[in-house]
Amino acid sequence: LYKQQLRIIEKRKLWNIYEERLKLLPITHEIERRGVTANKARLDELKATYIKEAAEAGELCRKIAKSCDYDIELPKSGSNNSLRAFVFDVLKLPAVSASKKTGEAKLDKNCMEAYETLLPQRSKGLMFIKALRAKRKRDTAVSYMTSYERYWIPLDIHNDKGEQLWFLLIHH
């Protein structure tokens, strides 16, 4: 089987990619054996950036709603009645998908992606959906970054100030 795979790799002119991918095997093994490391300073920097970007996207959502004379209350995650009312009653966006349980129109990730292809360029609806999607992406990333701290152990590597720099993420 191995000899046949090598022939196929050569036939498809993928030898350079194959050799480069071979270099990843020891790295992958080390990650699987030891775990993934995290740099606290970089994590804190990214987290602050994402929090700021989520706030900016949320503010853009509120400005768009205000331009339609609607005072929106954005949910911490998912959707709420205020968001659904704005999207479906004020912006009059069509329902892309409905919940099997409640029959209510959904505003999940798949619906957001669909709206980005369906809505006219430069429309308020498209601007709102893009901003809401950006906010959700950043909020999700911040949640993950925050949870890393529950699952890491210090690697005893410090900076000049004596601050712990590197941590090992463990998983259960």
> Tens digit of pLDDT for each residue in 13-27?
999 999 999 999 998
- CA nearest to 145, candidates 20, 38, 35, 15: 38
CB 151 within 8 A of CB 171: yes
- CA nearest to 38, candidates 127, 153, 159: 153
Q: Is the pLDDT of residue 137 over 80?
A: yes
Q: What is the pLDDT of residue 28?
A: 87
How many CB atoms lie under 10 A from the CB of residue 161?
Answer: 6
Q: What is the pLDDT of residue 172?
A: 57
Cα 47 to the chain's mean position, in Å?
12
Strands (E), the chain: 36-39, 152-154, 166-169
What does pLDDT average to over the chain? 93
Interval 52-62: pLDDT, tens:
999 999 999 99
Name the residue with higher pLDDT: 149 or 16: 16
Q: Is the pLDDT of residue 171 over 90?
A: no
CB 80 within 8 A of CB 61: no
CA distance linking residue 154 with residue 142, whole number of Å: 21
Q: What is the pLDDT of residue 19?
A: 95
Interval 64-118: pLDDT, tens:
999 999 999 999 888 999 999 999 999 999 999 988 898 888 999 999 999 999 9
Residue 33 banded pLDDT, cuts 50, 70, 90: confident
Distances (CA, A) of 165 to 143, 150, 157: 21, 16, 6
Q: Is the pLDDT of residue 120 over 70?
A: yes
CA distance linking residue 125 with residue 131, whole number of Å: 10
pTM, rounded to two decimals: 0.77
